Each structure stands twice: as C-alpha cells, then as structure tokens.
Amino acid sequence: MAMTWELGEPIATRELRKGDDPVVVTFGKPKPSEGGSYSCPVRIEGMEAEPLTRAIFGVDAVQAIIEAMTFAGRLLEASEGEYTFLGESDLGFPRS
C-alpha cells in the first residue's frame, strides 16, 4: 500500500504546460519531522490521472524546500511529455 502524504498549507505554486494542458506544482509549508529533520510536501497535478503528493526531507526547512523543488524538476524531466514554463523548456527548478 502506498504512503499517503498531505500537502498542508501551500506556500508556492508554479503552473506549467504539457501541450495545451495545465500542470500545477504546489509546495507546502515545511514542518519538523522525526529526528530533527524537516519535510516539505510537493504536489503535482496534471502529470498523471491522479495528483502525486510526496514529502521531501532536508536537514532544515530551507534544504527541504530546495530538495522538493529539485525533486519536482527531476520527476517532470524524467516523465513522458514535454513540459514548458512561460513557453520555455526550462521549468525553473533547481538542479542537483
């Protein structure tokens, strides 16, 4: 059974395009996790039939946000289809 993650309070959203279809990436507010780390939820809607929500972890809130943005960019680049942001192929997410 897959783990279910909640987005929580959204702090940032980016709308991409896959052809004529919108793809929305939303980042939730980072929160403390067990062991002193932080998690930052990310939801991608429009990439698949169902929204994908995951929690990405970092040593602090800033690293969790950066890692969540990097995760979203890598996932979109690896999936089928061509995604654009403001008409460009660079989606504007950090690269690792």
What is the model's pTM?
0.89
Residue 57: CB atoms within 10 Å: 16
Domain 11-81 has CATH 3.30.160: yes
Which of 65, 61, 53, 51 is closest to 12 using CA atoms? Answer: 65
Confidence band (pLDDT; 50, 70, 90) for 3?
low
Is it the case that residue 4 has pLDDT exceeding 70?
A: no
CB-based contact 9:84 (threshold 8 Å): no
pLDDT at 44: 96
